[in-house]
Amino acid sequence: METKIIYFDIDGTLRDENAGVSEKTKYMINECRKQDIKTMICTGRNPGSIQQDVLDLPMDGAIYSGGCYIKFQNRVIQKTVIPKEDVKKIFDKIVFGIVVETELNVYMNESAAKIYQNLFLEKTKGFDEIERKRIKTENKFLYKNNIKDFDFEKEDVYKICLIDHKEKLQQFQKEVKQVCSVVQLIPFADKWMMECIPFGCDKGKAIGFLNKYFGIKTKESMAFGDGENDIKMLEAVGTGIAMKNSSQKLLETADVICDSVKQEGIYKELLQRKLIKEKK
């Protein structure tokens, strides 16, 4: 079976949070292009938060914000936003923590910022301050209380994340589902996170749109991911591959499981499938 396009999640899949994009990953993307295999980012991140080492990869395009913003060769070919009046409805009933993603910016309130800051410190335990600063800068992690800078009228919203105790989010979920789609409700730090995007959007639907746009059959597409928001992505392609350290739900969805990003899982998988040549 010929593979004509591959979709890659970023964090924990294509890129290691601490080490960044590896040399083998850079080589692998270039090799795919030599074989006329299209390569597409498929991420929950918005365009403004993509790390520089990922931007430097010669990708054909990207699916951002969990499926609601699609670019091919630097041209926007589809985007869907949460209507402003619906964003306002969520803000009027704000819960413990809130994160708002526009095209270029990420805004959060104080509660969310503190959770992200503590989570980052936990992940980088044992690192000195210089190394922590490097990781934070390279990952474009700001983690600051900047929600007051968000202007409803000036910026379109592609994603909203709500953070609170599971029971509170579940109570609020019915109201949220009246204005947007809830793509995942997952444990996050010592609380839970509910990820919300526009109706009609998810990674799987975006992939279906692109495959049709390119005239590529489902069986000719492949995807790599590691999180629960990658389930729809793996279901939408001919070969869905989960990283070894993925969430249990994704592992159950995947057709194949490969090594982790730290173990160069994608490179090894594409090499084993003879889609690329070995790096000398």
CATH fold group of domain 84-197? 3.30.1240
Sheet strands (E) in 25-166: 38-42, 61-64, 69-72, 75-79, 97-101, 106-108, 159-164
Return left, alpha or beta for 167; rule: phi > 0 is left, psi -120 to 50 is alpha, else beta: alpha
- The backbone torsions φ and ψ at residue 176, rounded to the nearest 5 degrees and listed phi first, read -60, -40
Helix axes 129-138, 110-123, angle to 10 degrees: 120
The tokens describing 239, both together, are 């070969």
Element at 23 (helix H, strand E): helix 23-34
Find, among 255, 185, 263, the residue nearest to 224 by Cα: 255
One digit per residue, pLDDT tens: the chain, 280 residues?
A: 799 999 999 999 999 988 999 999 999 999 999 999 999 999 999 999 999 999 999 999 999 999 999 999 989 999 999 999 999 888 887 778 999 999 999 999 999 999 999 888 888 888 888 988 888 888 887 788 999 999 988 999 999 999 999 999 998 888 889 999 998 899 998 899 999 999 999 999 999 999 999 999 999 999 999 998 899 999 999 999 999 999 899 999 999 999 999 999 999 999 999 999 998 8
Q: Provide the terminal-to-terminal Cα distance of the chain, rounded to the nearest Å.
A: 26
Task: Work out whether the CA dihedral 69, 100, 181, 152 comes out positive or negative.
Answer: negative
Find, among 209, 170, 195, the residue nearest to 112 by Cα: 195
pLDDT attached to residue 95: 74
pLDDT attached to residue 240: 98
Domains of the chain: which residue ranges? Answer: 5-79+201-272, 84-197
pLDDT attached to residue 96: 84
pLDDT attached to residue 124: 86
Instruction: Give pTM, 2 decimals.
Output: 0.92
Helical H segments across 106-161, by residue range: 110-123, 129-138
Helix (H, G, I), strand (E, B), or coil: what is residue 158?
A: coil
How far is the C-alpha of 136 from the C-alpha of 130, rounded, in Å? Answer: 10
In the CATH scheme, what architecture does the domain 5-79+201-272 have?
3-Layer(aba) Sandwich (3.40)
pLDDT attached to residue 241: 98
How far is the C-alpha of 236 from the C-alpha of 225, rounded, in Å? Answer: 12
